[in-house]
Amino acid sequence: MTTITALSVQERFHYSEPGCAWRLSSALLRHVPFGKQPVRFVCIGTDRSTGDSYGPLTGTALGEQAGFPFPLIGTLEQPLHALNLERTLSAAADEEPVFTVAVDACLGKTAHIGQIILEDRPLMPGRAVGKTLPPVGDVSIKGVVNAALGDGHEALRNTRLHLPFMMSRLTARAILLAWHRHESKAVQNAGYDGHD
């Protein structure tokens, strides 16, 4: 497990900005040890709340990719949420250390809605709605789906599905792009030039 320092790196990307998937993939390449240790993706949330569906939508988008090489927990079919989080992660615990990338929706300032935030520290699932759950992840990807004004449950329920859907597709694309860029670099470093 990664040592957590008081100062963490935080990078923000708005899902609608041109080149967002490329820039997010570059950030993931800086923070996720692809090829150096086992990596898994943990996508938190539920399809019963539109705002909280960002995580399982991202997990579903990743799981739909043929040959996705990483363990994946949390999809629309099998969501990972407050009621099963601790039990599911305990059951999935590996003996060897696994670098975990945690994905979840969050609430923030109105001006930040639509941002995807990458941080080199765990996320605290359920905090926006007053739940106390264990921290998850070595690196976290949070999608700001609505403003943190008043009741968090109400804000998540009243989020239009279009936003977490589009953000999840962009996030999944960036994760896949980071993996493919890592693989391409590994092939180049091995000296393969495409000729027999």
CATH number at residue 46: 3.40.50.1450
Does residue 163 lie in a domain region? yes
What whole-number distance in Å separates Cα of residue 179 and Cα of residue 172?
11
Does residue 3 lie in a domain region? no
Does residue 4 lie in a domain region? no
Does residue 190 lie in a domain region? no
For residue 24, which of 189, 179, 185, 188 has the smallest C-alpha distance? 179
* pLDDT given at position 136: 93
What whole-number distance in Å separates Cα of residue 22 and Cα of residue 174?
6
Does residue 147 lie in a domain region? yes
Q: For tokens 């363990």, name the residue.
A: 71
Does residue 194 lie in a domain region? no
Q: Which domain holds residue 63?
A: 10-182
For residue 12, which of 115, 98, 140 has the smallest C-alpha distance? 115
Q: For tokens 């004004």, name the residue.
A: 149
Does residue 40 lie in a domain region? yes
Query: pLDDT tens digits for the chain (196 residues)?
Result: 333 344 578 999 999 999 999 999 999 999 999 999 999 999 999 999 999 999 999 999 999 998 899 999 999 999 998 888 888 888 777 667 899 999 999 999 999 999 999 999 999 887 766 677 889 999 999 999 999 887 888 888 889 999 999 999 999 999 999 999 999 887 676 655 544 4
Q: Which helix (H) or strand (E) holds 177?
A: helix 162-189
* pLDDT given at position 127: 74
Does residue 53 lie in a domain region? yes
In the chain, the number of structural domains is 1
* pLDDT given at position 160: 94
Where are the alpha helices (H) located in 64-151, listed in sequence order? 85-91
